[in-house]
Amino acid sequence: MILPKFEVAAYWNESSGFADVFDVDYFIEQTRGYVEVMKDLPVEIASKEPFKVDCSKRKGHFDYVESVLPALLEHQYISLTPAMNQRRDRNPSYAKASYCQGCYSALRLNKKVHSKAVELLQAIPKPFLSLHLRFEPDMVAYSRCAYTGLSSKSMDSIEAARGEGRKVLTGDAARLWRNRGKCPLTPSETAFILQALDIPTNTNIYLAAGDGLMELEGFTSVYKNIYTKSSLLAHEDFENMHGNTKAALDYYVSVNSDAYIATFFGNMDKMVTAMRTMQGLQKTLVLSRRDFANYTAAGLAGEQLAKAMWDVHREEYIRGRGSALPEYCFCEFKL
């Protein structure tokens, strides 16, 4: 395997690579015996384009031996599409052990990023809650969801990020989409749910969020003790960072936080919740956008809505593990 490449959308203006975030030599050493990892392509195929193999989520059974191996044998050089949601229970035990090793034992931040991450973690008052809040323009534009009550500045930012082919859904399609939990929670909606869960408004909260978070005053008007990368790191350090480095800092802080709450269940949330579980950390929760949408559509508001949201999250909140976790873990398999 050649060192992994980050999946990066053009509008993120991101150019950093695997080595800018992770310790390459450590990754290669830790995966030895599972798979041979090379830093660069062999000369004989370096000029070729890889044959692309789609491993993305699908309803039917997907078998790597049946679907990927023939392409590898024929073309010698292939690339796999990201497959974060691919089911792991169908894979043989040696594949599960390899996957576990690659995800949870072989990945370590490089010294420079790790040093900055430790500095950031130490600067946050303890105890604290890490909140992965997703309400950036590109995130909202990508969701195709309609929002009312946003500022004109936010609406302009969303439209600028929307581009072609991402028109806002309307009518029944918009209602069904929102009721399926596909629309990001606004900062004010997030603050409401946290209050419904009886999380004190004086809680120290680290905002694990991307640049350009919109409508933040809807959250900070309720929860005052807010800390961010930009407020805790030197201005020059922050400005010179790649987007992936900033995300790596959020990841490190979130894994090591006293509690972690996600407003969306994206790739980072899956990684953080899984790593916290691997390390035996509890107090991990993913807020239910689906239930919030359905209850508000049914006309619930105020205390009624707060009670409903508490009931929805009660079991997961008390258990402290959250809906992100499977009933079993593929890391139970060892080579």
Encode pLDDT of 121-155 as tens digits. Answer: 999 999 999 999 999 998 999 999 999 999 999 99
Q: Peptide bond before 127: cis, by omega within 30 degrees of 0?
A: yes
| pLDDT score at 11 | 46
Residue 225 has phi, psi (to 5 degrees) of: -90, 75
| pLDDT score at 243 | 85
State how far the Cα of 163 lies from the Cα of 141, in Å rounded to an integer.
8
State how far the Cα of 104 lies from the Cα of 64, in Å rounded to an integer.
21
SS3 44: helix
- Nearest CA to 268 out of 6, 87, 4 is that of 6
CA atoms 314, 319, 324, 325: torsion sign: negative
Percent of the chain with pLDDT over 70: 87
- CA 308 vs CA 161, 197, 268: distances in Å: 34, 10, 27
Using the predicted structure, report yes or no on whether residue 86 has a pLDDT greater than 70: no
Helices 302-319/289-297 angle, 10° precision: 160
All structural domains of the chain, each given as residue ranges with its CATH number in brackets, are: 23-106 (no CATH), 112-135+184-319 (3.40.50)
Using the predicted structure, report yes or no on whether residue 89 has a pLDDT greater than 80: no
Contact between 90 and 5 under an 8 Å Cβ cutoff? The reply is no
Instruction: Tell me the mean pLDDT in the region 23-52.
Output: 92
In angstroms, how far is CA 75 from the centroid of its own chain?
A: 33
Tell me the pLDDT band of 208, cut-offs 50, 70 and 90. Answer: very high
Average model confidence (pLDDT) for the chain?
A: 88
CA atoms 63, 74, 81, 18: torsion sign: positive
Which pair of structure tokens corresponds to residue 309? 């949201």
DSSP 190-202: HHHHHHHTT--TT
User: How many degrees, rounded to 5, is the angle at CA 19 between CA 253 and CA 330?
Assistant: 60
Tell me the pLDDT band of 116, cut-offs 50, 70 and 90. Answer: very high
